[in-house]
Chains A and B, each alone.
Chain A
Amino acid sequence: MNYGPLLFLAAFFALAGSWFGFVLTPQAQIGQLQQTNILGAPTLYPQARPGLARQGLEVYRANGCADCHSQQVRQSATVCDVLLSAAGTNPPAVLSALFKVKPGLSEPDARQCLSSLPQRLLEGLKPEEADTAVKVLNVAGAKAVVAIVPVGPDIARGWGKRRSVARDFIFDYPVALGSQRIGPDLANISMRQPDAGWHLRHLYAPRLEVKGSAMPPYRFLFEMRKIERCPSPDAMVLPRDAGPPPGYEIVPKPEAIALVAYLLSLRADAPLFEAPLTFAPGAGAAGGTNAPAAAELTPTNAPAASDATPTNAPAK
């Protein structure tokens, strides 16, 4: 140990450097984030979660939901699409503009395209290419706009419409980002599944709602009790083989209701400056991108959810 002071200094600088890089710099960078306006609308984002949902975050922590579910949508790139919404009054000029921006388009296809507007004319362009195409089309009298489209595997799964950014989480403490995906990402779960009754049945018996689900049932968030004079309005509507014995009912405890309120508050798809996107009018943006996950989540042997909706709904 004839280099004691040197070793001390080396250890000190290694620890100080990582503290500087992992604690101080991020704090200076994103520690002061505030609410901001959604792109193109005077709406503030994000909104603080309602009180019940905030209690639900504690239940989410206590039950280790974040061990299997992440809350971060990744995005690998952003592309620009060109949407054609009106053909204008000069068909020959628009046709020649179409051939110019989309070489290789046959004439019947072009006429077909003009007769079924609005159309997603070009996909996956760079911003400057899209701007040029839109300019060519608009000069010809047609009405075309650029749509900003985030892409990536998570977005293709329907887990979100754009990447998660730090601003999405400013009202959460702690931030339940999660690091494993044994279950699906929950950053936008209320966009995919806005039905509170579905969430309650899924917590009580996951395989009722998702066939082959690996999620354990969280039955301790529910209470089985004898029906007294009349059944509780909160009682779960379950298929007969999963339900309680006759004369009994299953009622969600306050924890379950808070957890579902939290899940229903999870939605981060507002367009922001740091995560821009366009909701394409008429192009089925919401339905289209959401399809894979929706198919996966379709209740297979579930009771008729629509009949049961009013009973299990906590205050939204």
Chain B
Amino acid sequence: MPPEAAEPSAGNLPVPVWLMVLLFVLLYAGMVFFDRFSGWFNAEVYMPYASLSDLQAFQPRGGGGPSPEHVRAVYENNCGLCHSNDGKGKPGQAPPYVGSEWVLGSPERMIRIPLSGLSGPVQVEGTEWNLSMPSMGAALSDDDLAAVLTYIRTSWGNKASAISPEQVKAVRAQIGARSQPWTAEQLKAVP
């Protein structure tokens, strides 16, 4: 009976140098690629953006002021609930914007109304209203308030000048921390 061949066993063989070099080159290339395109695992950075700063360069510019959809949403959430989304007002709740002399008249006067509110008797387009409006605009930013006032002055057939955030800022500075609502007479004294 011939002797049985020994079990094969793995021996030791050095890893070739070229393989080591190749692995390190691949590792280095991978690190460079990662550095450039990974966005460092930021969950908001997707292809084709390479990094957060690249993504930020593509954000919409604020140059044109708030977007029309945004202004409309601000209007509907703050003004339209009472004054109605078509600006026609609601009987017993709020006077109309369309054709109102308070809307189309002095910007200084108009900006004051949302900042501190208005209560007591007021004539709008020949009709007398006697209600109380809270300071709906005090919590809005200058940009939003200016945009929404401009929206009111230029929508539904209204044609009046735009109101800029600077004007709103100036009025805010003039009236300071006023908590009392205006009366119609006080507003009429404003140029």
Contact = CB atoms under 8 A, between A and B. Distances in A.
A47 interface: no
Nearest to B62: A40
A127 to B, nearest CB: 4
Contact of A274 (B9, B55, B64): B55
A75 B46 CA distance: 10
B69 A41 contact: yes
Contact of A80 (B43, B49, B58): B58
Interface range, B side: 20 to 34
Contacts of B9: 2
B188 interface: no
B69 A146 contact: no
Contacts of B48: 75-78
A148 B41 contact: no
B57 A41 contact: no
B45 A276 contact: no
B46 A163 contact: yes
B15 interface: no
B26 interface: no
A148 B44 contact: no
A274 B61 CA distance: 15
Interface in A34-80: 39-43, 75-78, 80
Interface stretch (A25-33, A178-186, A219-227, A256-264): A25-33
Contacts of A269: none
A76 B48 CA distance: 6
B73 A41 contact: yes
Q: Is the interface of B mostly helix, strand, loop or mixed?
A: loop
Contacts of B59: 39, 148, 273, 276
Contact of A3 (B10, B43, B55, B57): B10
Interface residues of A, number: 36
B176 interface: no
A30 B45 CA distance: 11
A274 B73 contact: no
B60 A148 contact: yes
Contacts of B73: 41-43
A193 interface: no
Nearest to A163: B46
A271 interface: yes
B53 to A, nearest CB: 11
Nearest to B49: A78
B77 interface: yes
Contacts of A2: 9-10
Contact of A42 (B43, B60, B70): B70
Contacts of B57: 127-128
A128 B58 CA distance: 10
A296 to B, nearest CB: 26
Pick the 5 closest A-B CB pairs, nearest first. Answer: A274-B44, A127-B57, A40-B67, A41-B70, A145-B64
Interface of A: 2-3, 25, 29-30, 33, 39-43, 75-78, 80, 127-128, 131, 134, 138, 143, 145-146, 148, 163, 165-166, 271, 273-278, 281
9 contacts: A30-B43, A39-B60, A40-B66, A41-B67, A76-B48, A78-B58, A128-B57, A148-B59, A274-B46
